[in-house]
Amino acid sequence: MIFIRGAAVLTMESPGVLYENGEILIEGQYITHVGPAGSASPPNDIDRIIDARGMLALPGLVNCHTHGAMTLLRSYADDLPLQRWLEEKIWPVEERLDPEDIYWGTMLCCLEMIRSGTTSFADMYFHMDQAARAVEKAGLRASLSRGMIGLSTGAGDALEESRHFIGEWHGAADGRITTMLGPHAPYTCPPDFLRKVMDMAAEVQVGIHIHLAETGKEVEDIRRQYGKRPVALMDELGLFAFPVLAAHCVHLDEEEINILAEKKVGVAHNPESNMKLASGIAPVTRLLEAGVLVGLGTDGPASNNNLDMMEEMRSAALLQKVATMDPVALPAFTALSMATVNGARVLGLHDVGLLKPGYKADIILINLHRPHLYPRHDLVAHLVYAAQSADVETVIVDGRVVMEKRQVLTVDEEEVYRQVSRRAERLAGRK
């Protein structure tokens, strides 16, 4: 049992709920009490009291779309459009990744996430049993998908590997790990392959994580090939009968926005990757108006080039303002909701993302005693427009402290740096 006291507590239930001097009780994996100081008499059998005076407590951040082990390829290929980036640089080097690379690359991803306040993430990549091992050890929460390129000769094997991976890991690590099927995108997964994916989703009862409508080129190529735009094509195939996590959704017409709302598709908006690859600006304001559930993601660390959700919130808010020429667009509380409770819902985690009794104890403490966080007119605005990931002081996932006073407790940082440096040298052909 952990008792946090003295923090300002932002529950994220509604914009107004902020306890200036609050307290949180954690029993096992769950939050059992949240309120102003003195609202609960702390039980006798508390294991730890965390004195959080000068801190802001809020739900851990949720990264709805990444490729964690691509930390190994950070700054390996930059300043290219998506298709050239993938075909000329990324896919050739990914051929050389081995399972241990994925373990250490994902471990680096977990380390970066813990240090920047992310407690849950959705990952699509290869050798996912190794990614799962890293997540389990680091203590994070994740929804993991074995990425599948339907056009490749190994597509059938990838599907079988997915079935095995889901059987082994869905619900593992005390429920911190969940799984999805990961067909890469409409332009790499033709309809026949997607039908097999849907058959398997029905059989093993998991959702589907896919890149969708990321670039103008994708829309044109899919329309030329199938006579429909990507979202409309996925709808016609029946993909949205399953829980779908659709990454990007940059290029949409009104009909497609309505499909996404009606079929309750969860969208992962990745503003920095979309800017860096010049893919475009997702119509987030329109999506939200239409009632689409939108979370935030970084995309892989090779197209961002970091996993910093604090930055991503700020970028999302600023980008919508400039895209709509409306300073009211995507206000701070909306950006923070996308990065917490709404992101959790996009991942199908319905007891994650709020500080509320009955919710999983995924909590971060932000050190407010920093020059860029004074004075304190509005703490929500501070989080989105002023805070930095280095302000994250303590991170709790599933009721367990994984970082305290910026010391990560679950991962040997130096060993991770040694491993990834050596492996990245080999992958880049320098050793």
By the criterion CB under 6 A, which residues form the site for ligand LTUXU72L? 67, 82, 86, 90, 94, 124-126, 147, 149, 184-185, 211, 214, 273, 299-300, 303
Is 382 annotated among the ligand-binding residues? no
Query: Which of Zn ion, ligand LTUXU72L, none binds 283 (CB below 5-8 Å, type-dependent)?
Result: none
The site for Zn ion, by CB under 5 A, has a size of 1
Q: How far apart are CA 106 and CA 90, in angstroms?
A: 17
Q: Please count the CA atoms within 13 angstroms of the CA of 196 that sit on its side-chain side.
A: 18
- Nearest CB to Zn ion, comparing residues 94 and 299: 299
CB of 348 to ligand LTUXU72L, least distance (A): 20
- Nearest CB to Zn ion, comparing residues 145 and 394: 145
Query: Which of ligand LTUXU72L, Zn ion, none binds 294 (CB below 5-8 Å, type-dependent)?
Result: none
Q: How far apart are CA 351 and CA 355, in angstroms?
A: 10
The first and second tokens of residue 65, run together, are: 């779309």
Rounded to 5 degrees, what are φ and ψ at 306?
-135, 180
- Nearest CB to Zn ion, comparing residues 130 and 304: 304
Q: How far apart are CA 336 and CA 60, in angstroms?
A: 11
Is 94 annotated among the ligand-binding residues? yes
Is 127 annotated among the ligand-binding residues? no
CB of 214 to Zn ion, least distance (A): 8
Question: Residue number with the shortest CB distance to ligand LTUXU72L?
Answer: 147
Spatial contact of 10 and 339, defined as CB atoms under 8 Å apart:
no
What interhelical angle do 191-204 and 155-169 show, nearest 10? 20
CB of 300 to ligand LTUXU72L, least distance (A): 4
Question: Residue number with the shortest CB distance to Zn ion?
Answer: 299
- Nearest CB to ligand LTUXU72L, comparing residues 299 and 391: 299
Q: How far apart are CA 259 and CA 275, in angstroms?
A: 25
For 186: left if phi > 0, alpha if psi spans -120 to 50, otherwise beta; the answer is alpha
CB of 274 to ligand LTUXU72L, least distance (A): 8
Is 211 annotated among the ligand-binding residues? yes
- Nearest CB to Zn ion, comparing residues 256 and 299: 299
- Nearest CB to ligand LTUXU72L, comparing residues 5 and 248: 248
Site for Zn ion in 280-299 (CB under 5 A): 299
Q: How deeply is 253 buried, as exposed, middle or buried, from its count of CB atoms within 10 A (0-12, 13-18, 19+)?
A: middle
- Nearest CB to ligand LTUXU72L, comparing residues 82 and 380: 82
The first and second tokens of residue 84, run together, are: 């050239």
- Nearest CB to ligand LTUXU72L, comparing residues 2 and 158: 158
Query: Which of Zn ion, ligand LTUXU72L, none binds 237 (CB below 5-8 Å, type-dependent)?
Result: none
Query: Which of Zn ion, ligand LTUXU72L, none binds 214 (CB below 5-8 Å, type-dependent)?
Result: ligand LTUXU72L
* Helix boundaries (H) for 325-404: 332-338, 341-346, 379-381
Spatial contact of 29 and 398, defined as CB atoms under 8 Å apart:
yes
The first and second tokens of residue 407, run together, are: 């010391």
Spatial contact of 134 and 125, defined as CB atoms under 8 Å apart:
no
* β-pair type (30-36, 18-27): antiparallel
- One DSSP character per residue, 295-321 reads EE----TTSSS---HHHHHHHHHHHHH
- Residue 398 binds to Zn ion (criterion: CB under 5 A): no
- Nearest CB to Zn ion, comparing residues 119 and 279: 279
CB of 247 to Zn ion, least distance (A): 5
- One DSSP character per residue, 3-61 reads EEEEEEEE--SSTT-EEEEEEEEEETTEEEEEEETTSSPPPTT-SEEEE-TTEEEEEPE
Site for Zn ion in 299-318 (CB under 5 A): 299
CB of 347 to ligand LTUXU72L, least distance (A): 17
Query: Which of Zn ion, ligand LTUXU72L, none binds 147 (CB below 5-8 Å, type-dependent)?
Result: ligand LTUXU72L
List the one residue out of 268, 211, 249 whose CA is nearest residue 86: 211
CB of 85 to ligand LTUXU72L, least distance (A): 8
Q: How far apart are CA 270 and CA 273, in angstroms?
A: 6
CB of 380 to Zn ion, least distance (A): 28
Site for Zn ion, rule CB under 5 A = 299
Q: Which residues are annotated as a binding site for substrate?
A: 94, 146, 184, 214, 299
> Residues comprising the binding site?
65, 67, 94, 146, 184, 211, 214, 299
Binding residues for Zn(2+): 65, 67, 211, 299
